[in-house]
Structure 1
């Protein structure tokens, strides 16, 4: 392996190590209590080393966000072959719930944890986050155009659908269904039925 290629691989390995450490620390002790120094101590490097790769912890959090949303869009993209837009919308909503059930920590970082999104404001575009939402918006638009759901502002409809899914899975991620003594199987079935019931009310 050429020296240049080896150095690039080592650089990427270090970035990944920092991101993995920061992710776990954000989840364990929260954004505010996590510092560059605590990340450095966790990976047994100096804070100066981390600053070679990221300007601050906001940028690290932004990269974690980007990775998580890229993973979510990949889940959505599995439904590309579905031709009927309402069937695709149903599949998207259910896969969103499934994503949260399978990746509760990631979902917490993406949508629930209180943390500044100042780095997103500094970027020209929020590529992965926008792309995931655009996938939902395009599907909603197709549903409206083909009269599969009741007419309305497409953006508002997309936000309404996302907000419903977010509210549902947030209750799960934060353990609110636990007080109801529901098993994981019953919770999964209940959420699946809730999605069907919600979308049925949108149909024409």
Structure 2
């Protein structure tokens, strides 16, 4: 391996190390505690070193969000493997999304806030696009063929994500609501969504 290749591999490995150190801060103290200077201090690097890998905090947050979607997509693939029934598969996907949002709360918040700032998902945020497409494809398989218009499928895709995001917001606001109760609400909401997928009026 030449010098150029070793430097490239070192840069990739260092980037991963910095991201995982940032993730530790986010999980332990919340994403608002994260800064490049704080991260540099934790890793015993100079602030200048951090700017070799991230031009600003926003760039760091984008890469953290991408890492979050990578983990979410991997969880969906793992949890839904072998589920061939379209309705059960869609329910399992949305349930996995909810579990991720609840148990990786701070990383989930990074993913939500960062995603709102991005317009070119296919270029800048392919991991989010992969997630959205997987939900959309699952919904397509549940719908009748005559219901599969682009506008209809897009609307149902965003409704399905809004169900999970809304219940996650309730969890953040109403901390006295136990997880079992929230899960029951999630199941009821998903069942209503799935029942509506063949109704063109909804």
Match of 1:67 in 2: 67
Partner of 1:135: 134
**Contiguous gaps of at least 5 residues in structure 1:** none
Q: Which region of structure 1 is more displaced relative to structure 2, 157-166 or 85-94?
A: 85-94
* Residue range with higher mean Cα deviation, 15-24 or 39-48: 15-24
Unaligned segments of structure 2, at least 5 residues: none
CA contact (8 A) 1:171 1:177 kept: yes
**Mapping 1:26-105, distance limit 5 Å:** 28=29, 30-31=31-32, 34-78=34-78, 79-105=80-106
**8 Å CA contact 1:93, 1:165 repeated in 2:** yes
Deviation at 1:129, TM superposition (A): 0.5
With the length of structure 2 as denominator, give the TM-score of the two structures.
Answer: 0.76
**Comparing 57-66 and 81-90, the one that deviates more:** 81-90
Q: After TM superposition, list the pairs within 5 Å mapping 1:55-204 onto structure 2.
A: 55-78=55-78, 79-111=80-112, 113=113, 117=117, 121=120, 124-146=123-145, 153-172=152-171, 174=172, 176-179=173-176, 182-202=177-197
C-alpha deviation, 1:178, in angstroms: 2.2
Q: Is the 8 A contact 1:137 1:155 kept in 2?
A: yes
- Alpha-carbon contact 2:21-2:39 (below 8 Å) kept: yes
Q: 1:39 to 1:117 in 2, by over 3 A?
A: farther
Q: Aligned-residue CA RMSD in angstroms?
A: 3.5
Q: Distance in 2 between matches of 1:88 and 1:48?
A: 47
| Whole-angstrom distance in 2 between the partners of 1:104 and 1:122 | 22
CA 1:183 to 1:140, structure 2 compared with 1: closer, same or farther past 3 Å?
closer
TM-score by length of 1: 0.76
Higher percent of residues as helix: 2
